[in-house]
Amino acid sequence: MPRMSTAIGLIRPPTMGSKARAGRIEEARENLGQMFSYANHLGLYSEEIGPTGEAEGNFPQAFTHLALIRACYLLNEALGD
């Protein structure tokens, strides 16, 4: 598995939102579920995700959390809820 970095937080959640707005709801849901799997037991994310999914770098990382909240909002909006 390639090394994942802050991009996991800053790029993927906006991509999820874009997929949701484009009608690709299932893809957005799958990506959201994958993103949730990278959180720790408190639901917090670090700056980087290591090759095996371990948290690395600054912790907690606010930008990742904000992008994830926005992605959830856009997915919810696309679902009409």
Give which of 20, 22, 5, 23 is closest to 63, Cα–Cα.
5
Answer yes or no: is pLDDT of 12 > 70: no
Mean pLDDT across the chain: 76
SS3 content of the chain, % helix, strand, coil (to 5): 55, 5, 40
Minimum mean pLDDT range among 14-23, 39-48, 68-77: 14-23
Answer yes or no: is pLDDT of 3 > 60: no
Going by C-beta distance under 8 Å and a sequence separation of 6 or more, which residues neighbour residue 74? 16, 17, 20, 21
pLDDT in the model for residue 25:
86
Predicted model pTM = 0.68
